[in-house]
């Protein structure tokens, strides 16, 4: 763009030729040709110059060459034809088929096959006008500028030196090796180095990614920062849109504000929020302002919300994770949950929940110090509970069957728990029901390890390992104390609905530097977490 500006700046030098008679009538114009013929058109006298025509402007150090010309001295006008060429200070070369210069209008007009060149910069058009008073240059009916690696085409182009701006309009297209820009109109400020487009604008980068906006954009060449209004960024893997976008090329940082929407095509993951930062060099995206993640699965949709979401997509290290911080809520038709923090490894569909995690699956409440989930194609596959694991299962008549242990692995089939492996300090309590759902008795079991099989919410088989202690209590011996394992806390009121997950949250403050930051211990634990044991 800077070279394109230099092109128009050089064009202004040629414009100064038209000031010879208009601004200083005493300044002499010398001319020469092989043949010179005097003539008259009505009352207007002229001189016709034929062969090797040369007009010289000594004070401007400029010459006009042509095959033939008409020179109207009293009108202050010259018409040149054939191989017209203008040379200014031995550096500017302009050719055309026709040239008309009128000192009374302070206007030089070049027509047909106009080519302006200065070094590596060349302008091609059929219609080029110069106003020597305002020093503006204008081409119309299409023009093309080639500037080294850059090519700009448009229907019209005008340079306003007094206002320090250039204006291009009508099917503007700028092409260079890194990107192609197409827009309705473009204005460039030669002082601030700021380019502004209006109307529809599309930028296509060399990697195939595109940026579209119906309302234009601003590009600051000094800071290498772009501002986009209602833009959409599209790549093979992602689609991002928002009300306002800012891209800083030097820092490789994107900022999106207002109605943020992001789609990861390969993972079928959608994220919405009110503000987002994308650090391309680190492969980190941070979203806040009521952020919500939605993953479309085969037969269901997984929703997640938190105060802040961070997407990690580092191709070099094969990391593809979603991190959530503070007041995490998740919802799926067969699974709901809450936690303070979460990490979702999208490469293998593993979810890690930290700091007071709590899950509900059908009529089951599940808790532990930390919980890991493995999602299958359409539903929950396995659940790993580490440290102080506790599962509460409400049966059809309102009793609470309970399983407690140091660690557990719960296997799911469809939407229900199929079996549970309890490892270390295993305890279980379940109510035995008759076929009519009347109470048959209460089983309490204590052992090192156990495996429990289920049909619906009812245990169908229990296998004990290492010194089991089992006690069966008939209904008349069951007390309130026997109905509860230590640590029981039924928290049905905390179970989130889909409306809770989608509900607006308080606006989170942006980092003043725009740098993406996360709680370091949680981030490290999430990224370094090993794959779950099968």
pLDDT at 508 over 80: no
Higher pLDDT, 469 or 507: 469
Higher pLDDT, 373 or 19: 373
pLDDT at 527 over 70: no
Confidence of residue 112 (pLDDT cuts 50, 70, 90): very high
pLDDT computed for residue 519 by the predictor = 39
Mean pLDDT value across residues 507-528: 42
Residue with tokens 């994107």: 254
Mean pLDDT value across residues 10-14: 40
Higher pLDDT, 119 or 325: 325
pLDDT in tens, 49-58: 999 999 887 7
pLDDT at 265 over 50: yes
pLDDT at 5 over 60: no
Q: Is the dihedral of CA 83, 84, 86, 91 positive or negative?
A: negative
Confidence of residue 191 (pLDDT cuts 50, 70, 90): confident
Of 58, 101, 57, 65, give the one whose Cα is nearest residue 83: 65
Mean pLDDT value across residues 127-150: 82
Give the DSSP H/E element, type plus range, for residue 115: strand 107-118
Confidence of residue 531 (pLDDT cuts 50, 70, 90): very low
pLDDT computed for residue 433 by the predictor = 87
Mean pLDDT value across residues 417-436: 88
Mean pLDDT value across residues 4-28: 42
Higher pLDDT, 297 or 72: 72
pLDDT at 516 over 70: no
Cα distances (angstroms) measured from residue 148 to each of 6, 152, 182, 319: 12, 11, 19, 40
Tell me, what DSSP letter sits at residue 206? T
Confidence of residue 436 (pLDDT cuts 50, 70, 90): confident
Most confident listed range (80-84, 315-319, 382-386): 80-84
10 Å Cβ neighbour count for 142? 16
pLDDT at 400 over 70: yes
Confidence of residue 377 (pLDDT cuts 50, 70, 90): low
Mean pLDDT value across residues 92-118: 85
What domains appear along the chain, each with residue ranges and CATH number? 1-139 (2.60.450.10), 328-508 (2.60.450.10)
Do 138 and 157 form a contact (C-beta atoms < 8 A)? Answer: yes
Q: How far apart (Å, rounded) are the C-alpha atoms in residues 338 and 358?
A: 5
**Average pLDDT, whole number, for the chain?**
82
Q: How far apart (Å, rounded) are the C-alpha atoms in residues 295 and 299?
A: 11
Mean pLDDT value across residues 426-448: 89
Mean pLDDT value across residues 383-403: 90
């Amino acid at each position: 763009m800077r070279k394109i500006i230099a092109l128009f700046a050089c064009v202004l030098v040629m414009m100064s030729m038209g000031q010879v008679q208009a601004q200083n009538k005493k300044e002499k114009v010398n001319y020469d040709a092989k043949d010179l013929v005097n003539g008259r058109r009505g009352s207007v006298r002229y001189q016709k110059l034929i062969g090797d025509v040369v007009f010289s402007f000594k004070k401007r150090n400029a010459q006009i060459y042509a095959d033939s010309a008409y020179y109207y001295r009293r009108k202050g006008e010259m018409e040149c034809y054939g191989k017209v060429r203008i040379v200014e200070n031995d550096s500017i070369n302009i050719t055309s088929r026709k040239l008309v210069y009128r000192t009374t209008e302070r206007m030089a007009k070049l027509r047909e096959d106009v080519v302006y060149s200065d070094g590596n910069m060349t302008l091609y058009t059929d219609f080029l006008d110069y106003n020597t008073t305002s020093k503006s240059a204008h081409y119309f009916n299409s023009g093309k500028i080639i500037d080294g690696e850059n090519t700009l085409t448009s229907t019209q182009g005008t340079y306003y030196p007094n206002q320090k701006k250039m204006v291009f309009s009508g099917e503007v297209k700028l092409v260079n090796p890194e990107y192609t820009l197409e827009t309705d109109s473009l204005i460039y400020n030669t002082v601030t180095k700021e380019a502004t487009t209006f109307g529809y604008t599309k930028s296509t980068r060399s990697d195939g990614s595109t940026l579209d906006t119906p309302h234009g954009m601003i590009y600051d060449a000094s800071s290498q920062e772009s501002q986009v209004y209602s833009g959409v960024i599209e790549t093979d893997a992602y689609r991002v849109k928002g009300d306002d976008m800012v891209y800083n090329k030097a820092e490789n940082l994107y900022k999106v504000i207002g109605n943020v929407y992001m789609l990861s095509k390969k993972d079928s993951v959608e994220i919405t929020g009110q503000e987002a930062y994308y650090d391309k060099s680190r492969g980190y995206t941070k979203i806040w302002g009521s952020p919500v993640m939605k993953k479309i699965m085969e037969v269901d949709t997984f929703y997640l919300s938190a105060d802040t979401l961070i997407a990690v997509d580092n191709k070099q290290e094969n990391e593809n994770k979603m991190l959530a911080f503070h007041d995490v809520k998740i919802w799926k038709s067969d699974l709901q949950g809450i936690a303070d923090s979460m990490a979702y490894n999208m490469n293998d569909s593993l979810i890690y929940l930290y700091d007071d995690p709590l899950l509900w699956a059908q009529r089951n409440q599940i808790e532990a110090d930390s919980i890991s989930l493995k999602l299958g194609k359409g539903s929950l596959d396995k659940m790993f509970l580490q440290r102080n694991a506790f599962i509460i299962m409400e049966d059809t008549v309102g009793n609470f069957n309970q399983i407690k242990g140091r660690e557990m692995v719960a296997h799911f089939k469809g939407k229900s728990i199929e079996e549970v492996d309890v490892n270390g300090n295993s305890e279980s309590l379940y109510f035995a029901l008759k076929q009519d759902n009347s109470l048959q008795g209460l089983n309490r079991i204590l052992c090192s390890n156990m495996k429990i099989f289920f049909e619906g919410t009812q245990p169908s088989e229990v296998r004990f390992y290492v010194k089991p202690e089992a006690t069966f209590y008939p209904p008349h011996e069951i007390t309130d104390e026997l109905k509860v394992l230590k640590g029981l806390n039924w928290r049905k009121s905390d179970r989130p609905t889909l409306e809770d997950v989608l509900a607006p949250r308080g606006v989170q403050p942006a980092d003043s530097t725009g740098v993406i930051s996360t709680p370091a211990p949680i981030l490290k634990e999430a990224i370094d977490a090993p794959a779950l044991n099968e």
